[in-house]
Structure 1
């Protein structure tokens, strides 16, 4: 089983079919908060929806296109982090993450992003990482800034959030910049 220790309290674990109920419950009770920023939340309405998406995540891993993992804080699933399918020709990908509102402000996502950056740059030998955020999500936007990412621009109306087009702020970091920050 895919498991990566991030700190003494935080671990990343590969999501498997047996986790579908756990992730469904977390998203369902976090729906009002997560739905403000993440367009996919409104489509994930049943246990079956999660079984299908977990199968896609496992296929992504099997095809060497990246991974999606649950974030466990003190043995409890509190969010997710992963990378979008890797563009191996360009040697780049994007990190995506979300965390239940009640677990924010503890440095969990920052620590998890640092671990994912290490995997991407040191193990996968990628050259570029991106993080894209909703401009209104100040907490999410603070993460890439804290980790040395540079705001590169705004993709205008790049997201459809509950029928409204929203901008997406793009942050990027290169392997050379990551090495300098060590």
Structure 2
């Protein structure tokens, strides 16, 4: 089992089926807040949807294609963070994350993204980590900016968000740049 302790209060743990109820509860209680930027909420309407997500993520983890982890803050699951995709051929990982509304503003996600970046570049020996966020999602964009990622460009109409397209800003961190 993958467990990565970040600090005294914070750790990442690979998602397991026994986490499904808490993940769904957190998703559901933060639904209105999260749906502004996360299109998958439209397809997560019952506990079984979360179980299916965990099952798929577990298979991808075993195959080395992704890493979906729950964020544990002071002993409680407060969100999800990990690598949505790991491209071994290009030695690149793509970080994705979300946090329950009541846990915002505590520096949790910046610490999680920093730990994931370090894990990818140091432990997995990858060359690059990317974080993508909608142009108008300033909270999400502030995370790679705080960590010193380079803004590499904008992908136009990168994602369908419920009823419209949003552009994504791409941030990258190279192994040679990571201190």
TM-score, normalised by the number of residues in structure 2: 0.97
How does 1:43-122 map onto structure 2 within 5 Å? 43-122=43-122
User: What is the CA-CA distance between 1:59 and the residue it aligns to?
Assistant: 0.6
User: What is the CA-CA distance between 1:65 and the residue it aligns to?
Assistant: 1.7
User: What is the CA-CA distance between 1:106 and the residue it aligns to?
Assistant: 1.1
* Uncovered stretches (5+) of structure 2, i.e. residues with no partner: none
2:25 corresponds to which residue? Answer: 25
- Give the match's secondary structure for 2:85: coil
Number of residue pairs matched by the alignment: 179
CA distance in 1, matches of 2:170, 2:118: 20
User: What is the CA-CA distance between 1:66 and the residue it aligns to?
Assistant: 2.7
User: What is the CA-CA distance between 1:85 and the residue it aligns to?
Assistant: 2.1
- Give the match's secondary structure for 2:90: coil
2:36 corresponds to which residue? Answer: 36
CA distance in 1, matches of 2:86, 2:76: 28
User: What is the CA-CA distance between 1:155 and the residue it aligns to?
Assistant: 0.7
1:142 corresponds to which residue? Answer: 142
2:170 corresponds to which residue? Answer: 170
Provide runs of 4+ in structure 1 moved above 2 Å: none
